[in-house]
Amino acid sequence: MSVFRWIIGVIGGLLATGAVLAFVIFIVTDIDVWIKRARAWRRLAWAIALFWFNVEIWRRVAIVIINWV
């Protein structure tokens, strides 16, 4: 499970970094396409975070069900 956390963390971190950089480029250059990219990458980073949270919760549910006896 640690490998999964690292993969999700790296992907989420890259997407969040891309969103911040795209937003900074938008602020500096005032080109509208960069705000669209920043929003898209922010949404993907948020989706990755929610996916990680969902997997963690359901993993614990499965562990409880398996060890119920």
Taking the alpha carbons at both ends of the chain, their separation in whole angstroms is 23
Q: Where are the beta strands (DSSP E) in 1-69?
A: none
Summarize pLDDT for 27-38 with one digit per residue, the tens.
999 999 999 999
Q: What is the pLDDT of residue 1?
A: 73
Residue ranges of domains in the chain: 2-66
Q: What is the pLDDT of residue 67?
A: 94
Amino acid at residue number 6? W
Summarize pLDDT for 21-63 with one digit per residue, the tens.
999 999 999 999 999 999 999 999 999 999 999 999 999 999 9
Q: What is the pTM of this model?
A: 0.82
Q: What is the pLDDT of residue 69?
A: 74
Q: Provide the 10 A C-beta neighbour count for residue 48.
A: 20
Name the helix (H) or strand (E) containing 42: helix 32-66
Measured in degrees and rounded to the nearest 5, phi and psi for residue 47 equal -65, -40
